[in-house]
Structure 1
Amino acid sequence: MQTHEIRRRFLDHFVKAGHTEVPSASLILADPNLLFVNAGMVPFVPFFLGQQTPPYDRATSVQKCVRTLDIEEVGKTTRHNTFFQMAGNFSFGDYFKEEAIAFAWSLLTGSVEDGGYGIDPEKLWVTVYLDDDEAFAIWRDKMNVPEARIQRRGMKDNYWSMGIPGPCGPCSEIFYDRGPEYGVEGGPEADEDRYIEIWNLVFMQNERGVGISKDDYPILGPLPKKNIDTGMGVERVAFLLQGVENVYETDLLRPVIDKAAELTGALYGDKHEDDVHFRVIADHARTAAMLIVDGVNPGNDGRGYVLRRLLRRIVRSARLLGADRPTMAEFMAVVRDTMAPSYPELATNFARIETVAVGEETAFLKTLGTGSKLFEGAVDAAKAEGRTVLGGTAAFTLHDTYGFPIDLTLEMASEAGLSVDEDGFRSLMAEQRQRAKDDARARKHAHADMTVYKELLDRGPTEFTGFGELVTEAHVLAVITGGERLHTATAGQKVELILDRSPLYAESGGQIADIGTITGPGLKIKVDDVQKIAKQLWTHKVTVVEGQVTEGDAVLVQVDPEWRKGATQGHSGTHLVHAALREVLGPNAVQAGSLNKPGYLRFDFSWPGALSEQQKQDIEVVTNEAVAANYPVNTFVTDLDKAKKMGAMALFGENYGDEVRVVEIGGPFSMELCGGTHVQHSSHVGTVTLLGEQSVGSGVRRVEAYVGLDSYRHLAKERALLAGLSSTLKVPSEEVPGRVESLIERLKAAEKELEKTRAANVAAAAGGYAGKAQRVGDLLVVADAAPEGVAGNDLRTLASDVRGRLGSEPAVVLLLGNTEGKVPFVVATTKAAQSMGIKAGDLVASFGPAIGGRGGGKPDMAQGSGSNPSGIPAALDAFRARLSELAG
């Protein structure tokens, strides 16, 4: 059963049981205690604590999770993943232990035909908290689990919390028995390698305090309600249902390992050291892609440092496996292809994922090239002096000059048989931080007085006049550059101007700033941008075109009227689209961000999946019906409580004071809290054309649209494009889609025929190679170059076919490809040759150096790749010479 199917069955099971399906939250939440979301229940914590009222009594989700405490263990064992998916069902004061246990048991043991996982109940063991007699009795009496397969465990194992103050409670875990070949009898208490935990049912009823370990913290008291929080490990259930050895063998991670084998020439399963590197690549590539798509960028601290570390471990592992060129783009593409069915944002945002990951790889490859030489020199020096510790100064230089994270230095030193003077390293780091602080203080005294804005704020906020007029008389309060008061500026200078009044809108609430001019006698200034300081002070970023501006000058400030017209169209259009989304999709389609500017709007909203074509059409129709209705646009100021009672909606990410401005379009059609500029009637927005809809994060979708003249220009361009296609295809415009679809089908059919022809040619070539077999002692030998372009599975198939045509005699086949500067190869042996002690994997060493290649495999077949096509003749000669030795 594929992992995506496991996820779907879980959600369907609980939706049928009355749960609301909740999309996975982002891995990044505004919680100062958490670097990443590390458990499925994290997004629901405010509900468990009673801080917020949940909009549902029971919910289900498959939550993205990342845990990074065990990064060093990834790959060394098959039990650690940094990214994983936690499927859960949650009750907020609704049902409790008996129902939760029954829900889990029925899904795990229910038949596949009925939507279950079809697990044999005899394979399942359960654990309960020491004194939880109620849970013990439910398992025994209601689920009919024998007492011998129910074990009581202590607080460390069966009392759950997030590891920080918050909700907690006793839990009951479900384990799967993999069989005697994986360990000793005796249940989870005896062996957790044989008995794998797959589900944890937390009976969340208490709140914990601060503690230092899993079983050393105070219980502060009961929660407002008894809740259920469960977590089923999707990856663990997947490897059990797919009949593979571990999570790295499943359908989501094995393809990354296979790609790494293809790119490096190494073989997974050949030796433990290489297997560790393969698993590091598979795990970290997936985690990195998921972090990037949720907005994390590589950096030197916090989340950014974790991402950087993951990406750099991928690069280094690939190099250690034999990669001699960049590999990151291909790893990320495999992650996209395997994970996108559940997380479509990986596909829609792949350009950003690839750019971030490849950029970090490029930078780190340079780091490795120079820093590794320094590291190797330091290691050689230490060993020559008989030391077993790499000095702190060397570690600091690697970090400070070459960007080596200390974790990488520790890892490389360990591989070289050395430890690192971490205390010395951290002492030098502390000295560097102190120097940076001293330097910052020196610069502050030498340059601008950074209190300049505070002094201006003390005079009161900027008076914004732009709601009622586009031209305002004002006075210049300050001329600033780089935080320093200049008092005056002349033609050619770019400065900031602080005015007492301004009609120019300062960027906020998704609306970008106005542009315009500031003029006076002999003075002309171009306003490029307007921003807010402390939400009160307008700072105008300007270029002085003519004359001189001085503090105290009286000036005339004017908004570009065409710009403002387009800006109001875009902003009012955003409100109309928001209202249309809620009318078509329902009240759960709430705003999650926006951007509007002249002629264009972008709107992000919470929604669990892609919109259908019909939904997109309906949204566009409702929006344009509101435009045609010519609704009046009214604005008024009231207090926040009254606005909320009226049903006014708050904008994403905006903080409000006691008094708020309400923008009302068409009475109940749209009412939002908004400080932006708007049209006077909805018809002034003009036609709204949706450009598309996409995912921008888990549970967040984005629509984009043109408005006004930009909408007309877009539609005109589309009309011209359709007319061109109609003319080229010689069909009426309404038949263009059908004709294009027909052409695509014909193209696909032609490609299939080409593929059949290519496969037939490969098969036909086998006879020719078999006919050229040479006798070397008692061996038949085929050693030759494959047809140009043949590689991968085709090369393997060809070698196997040639071997089959050589009959039962002792025979060995070597075929060397030449594809884009790479030399893929396959060695195949017959059973008779193997009985003579000739093994395919052992033969690689005889010819591999000539082509700069490496590889391996089993006695009957081995494969790999080299990087030196010019060495093919020498490789063939070396191979034949080795077989002559073996044949006597």
Structure 2
Amino acid sequence: AVHACRVEAIYKDGEPVKDADAGDEVVVVFDKTPFYAESGGQMGDKGVFKNNTTILKVDDTFKIKADVFGHMSYVAEGSVKVGDLFSAKVDEENREATARNHSVTHLMHKALREVLGQHVQQRGSMVNGDRTRFDFVHTSPMTAEQIREVEDIVNKEILRNTATHVRVMPLDEAKKTEAVMLFGEKYGENVRVLNIGSSCELCGGTHVQRTGDIGMFKIVSESGISAGVRRVEAVTGMSALRYTQKQEAIIHEVAEGFKAPTDEVVSKVVETVDHLKRAEKELDTIKVQLAQAGASSVAAKAEDIGGAKLLVTEMKGVETKALRDSVDSLKDQLKSAAVVLVKVEDGKASIAVGVTKDLVSKVKAGDVVKFIAEKLGGKGGGRPDFAQGGGNAPADLSALLAQTKTFVAEKLQ
């Protein structure tokens, strides 16, 4: 802990204020601070500033100017005013987790260049205690093999447990080393050259002392974010362990659901999907057969009107899309006919009307659908020989069918 950090300024909603009370969210500037400010994609430190009366919880630290750090603070207890003195305590666990993720970004950058090619260039990164997010130039999605190869290279570097070296030197001198300079970064006249594992880059962030401190490295996602730019997200340390534990738990749950050992779960899933597809095909065949059988028994209900057949009836237990097939099959059986089928389910009515070609001059399927749909507050239409529609379920279906029968019969005579 660093003692006696003095409050130089307080900002609330972007405006300078003299003081702030419990519950306020403010940005506090101190004369000195051990907190690391957001820079080069690394998120700022979290932690606490305390004195006898007040607790400030810091959620992020950023640079207002090059050497002026703003602490995003929540006044948890007491009040704070300009001139107050505080002792500072950085959240070490978060800082260490962030350092692991930052250090691994350098190893990953080098590994990506090795696996995908030297054209790979950083296009931005975001590092915090949870994970590292790294954007880079590359045209196609990474394959599973390439992801595994990058993970292998990085984890081997971690296992070698080599010490990290940071050297501060003038920019001109750094250019003569093999250090990778990152696109879009602004460098001052003195820079920090970071050697970690076999990577050498310019960097101002916080880092592990040895590669082994990273613990473990795992890529959790890879995606495209714009033309020619890919994004990789990865985790380290305990987050990497938690990630693998979560994946393992998912596999165990799936295996349990399939009542199979985990190493047989993939073949079990494939087998089940195949079985489902076959069962669905068989079911579709049976539905068609049932519809045809139903249509045959329904055909017997048709009445003779002026030499043509008229069938107006309710269809039960048929899917809406099978109504059309039923109409077609009834037209075939009855040869010269007008067929009207209505299905009512869940407060909705579906209508399908078919008229054989020889009768369309007398009655058009679309007119019949409109006649019924208007009574049901719905709509519909189609060709003269086939039309469909729908609306709300009628209060009295038999009365509606009787009215429809009269409407069509008059046209057929």
TM range (shorter): 0.7 to 0.9
Select 2:162's aligned residue among 616, 620, 631.
631
Provide the residue aligned with 1:605 in structure 2.
Answer: 136
- Whose radius of gyration is greater, 1 or 2? 2
Q: Is it true that 1:736 corresponds to 2:265 in the alignment? A: yes
Q: 1:553 to 1:700 in 2, by over 3 A?
A: same
Deviation, structure 1 residue 477: 0.5
Matched, 1:692 2:224: no
Counterpart contact for 2:214–2:236, Cα < 8 Å: yes
Matches within 5 A, 1:200-279: none
Higher relative contact order structure (alpha carbons within 8 Å, sequence separation ≥ 6): 2
Counterpart mapping for 1:476-625 below 5 A? 476-533=7-64, 537-625=68-156
Cα 1:524–1:761 change in 2 (3 A) is: same
Q: How far apart, CA to CA, are the structure 1 residues paired with 2:251 and 2:214?
A: 26
Residue aligning to 1:832: 358
Match of 1:852 in 2: 377
Q: The residue matched to 1:867 in structure 2 has which SS?
A: strand
| Corresponding residue pairs, total | 411
Amino acid at match of 2:48: T
Q: Could you tell me the percent identity over the aligned residues?
A: 36
Whichever structure has more helix as a proportion of its residues is 1
8 Å contact from structure 1 (residues 634, 664) kept in 2? yes
Q: 1:867 deviation in Å?
A: 3.4
The Cα shift of 1:551 comes to: 1.3
> Which SS does the other structure have where 1:501 is aligned?
coil
Structure 1 residue 660, shift from structure 2 partner: 4.3
Distance 1:877 1:611 in 2: 66
Q: 1:523 to 1:622 in 2, by over 3 A?
A: same
Deviation at 1:707, TM superposition (A): 1.0
Q: For residue 694 of structure 1, give the secondary structure of its aligned residue in structure 2.
A: strand
**C-alpha distance in 2, partners of 1:872/1:790?**
22
Per-residue Cα deviation, 1:525-573 (whole angstroms, up to 9, x for no partner): 2212223335653221212334443212332222111111111112222
Amino acid at match of 1:476: V
- 8 A contact 1:629–1:682 mirrored in 2: yes
Deviations 1:168-218 (A, max 9, x none): xxxxxxxxxxxxxxxxxxxxxxxxxxxxxxxxxxxxxxxxxxxxxxxxxxx
User: 2:339 — aligned with what?
Assistant: 813
| Separation (CA, whole Å) in 2 of partners of 1:662 and 1:678 | 12
For 1:698 and 1:825, locate their aligned partners in 2 and report how far apart those are by CA, in whole Å.
Answer: 49
Which of 801, 805, 824 matches 2:329?
Answer: 801
Please report how far the alpha carbon of residue 884 of structure 1 lies from its aligned counterpart in structure 2 after TM superposition.
2.3
The residue aligned with 1:867 is 391
Quote the Cα distance in structure 2 between the aligned partners of 1:485 and 1:856.
68
Amino acid at match of 1:664: N
Offset of 1:830 from its aligned partner? 0.5
- Is contact 1:789–1:818 with CA below 8 Å preserved after alignment? no
Q: Quick one: distance in 1 between partners of 2:370 and 2:250?
A: 59
**CA 1:710–1:766: 2 relative to 1, 3 Å:** same
- How far did 1:575 drift? 2.4
Per-residue CA deviation, residues 741-788 of structure 1 (Å, 9 max, x unaligned), is 223322332233223322332233222332222233443222233334
Q: CA RMSD in A?
A: 2.9
Q: Distance in 1 between matches of 2:64 and 2:330?
A: 76
TM-score using structure 2 length: 0.87
3-state SS, counterpart of residue 509 of structure 1: coil
Alpha-carbon distance between aligned partners in 2 of 1:636 and 1:715, rounded to the nearest angstrom: 36
In the alignment, is the contact (CA less than 8 A) between 1:502 and 1:557 conserved in 2? yes
Contact kept, 8 Å, 2:313 with 2:342, in 1: the verdict is: yes
Q: Secondary structure at the match of 2:405?
A: helix
Relative to structure 1, is the Cα distance of residues 699 and 772 closer, same or farther in structure 2, using a 3 angstrom cutoff?
farther
C-alpha distance in 2 between matches for 1:787 and 1:605: 60
Given candidates 288, 294, 314, the residue that maps to 1:765 is 294
Q: Which runs of 5+ in 2 are unaligned?
A: none
Say if 1:728 and 1:859 are closer, same or farther in 2 by CA, change over 3 A: closer
Residue 727 (structure 1) shift? 6.0
Classify 1:773/1:697 alpha carbon distance in 2 versus 1 (closer, same or farther; 3 Å).
farther
- Opposite residue 683 of structure 1, the aligned amino acid is G
* Aligned-pair CA distance for 1:728: 6.2
- 1:657 shift after superposition: 4.8
Q: What secondary structure does 2:394 align onto?
A: helix
Could you tell me how far apart the structure 2 residues matched to 1:582 and 1:741 are? Answer: 36
Cα distance change of structure 1 residues 844 and 746 upon mapping to structure 2, 3 Å threshold = closer
Q: How does 1:121-132 map to 2 (within 5 A)?
A: none
SS for the counterpart of 1:704 is strand
What letter is aligned with 2:15? E
SS of the residue 2:384 aligns to: coil
In structure 2, the partner of 1:412 is none
Q: Residue type of the partner of 1:510?
A: G
Q: What is the letter of the counterpart of residue 619 of structure 1?
A: V
Q: 1-side partners of 2:14 and 2:36: how far apart?
A: 22
For residues 191 and 338 of structure 2, what CA distance do their matches in structure 1 show?
83
* 1:107-122 matches, cutoff 5 A: none
1:24-49 per-position Cα deviation (integer Å, ceiling 9, x unaligned): xxxxxxxxxxxxxxxxxxxxxxxxxx
CA deviations on 1:360-387 (whole Å, 9 max, x unpaired) are: xxxxxxxxxxxxxxxxxxxxxxxxxxxx
Cα displacement (A) at 1:841: 2.5
Report what 1:712 is aligned to.
241
Alignment map for 1:369-448 (pairs within 5 Å) = none
Alignment of 1:84-233 (within 5 A): none
Shift in alpha-carbon separation, 1:490–1:730, aligned structure 2, 3 A: closer
The SS at the match of 2:373 is: helix
Deviation at 1:604, TM superposition (A): 3.2
Quick one: distance in 2 between partners of 1:656 and 1:781? 88
AA matched with 1:879: T
Provide TM-score, normalisation by structure 1: 0.43
Structure 2 distance, partners of 1:643, 1:805, is: 90
Question: Which structure's residues are more often strand, by fraction?
Answer: 2
Contact kept, 8 Å, 2:340 with 2:354, in 1: the verdict is yes
In the TM superposition, residue 723 of structure 1 has moved relative to its aligned partner by 4.7
SS in 1 for 2:212: helix
Structure 1's consecutive aligned runs of 4 or more residues displaced over 6 angstroms after TM superposition are: none
Counterpart residue type for residue 876 of structure 1: L
Structure 1 unmatched runs, 5+: 1-469
Could you tell me whether the CA contact under 8 Å between 1:812 and 1:828 is conserved in 2? yes
Compared CA separation, residues 484 and 733, structure 1 to 2 (3 A):
closer
Structure-2 residue corresponding to 1:126 = none
Letter in 1 for 2:334: L
Alpha-carbon spacing, 1:641–1:887, altered in 2? closer, same or farther (3 Å): farther
List per-residue Cα deviations over 1:568-620 (Å, max 9, x = no partner): 11222222222222221123343344332224223333433333222222122
* 1:870 partner SS: coil
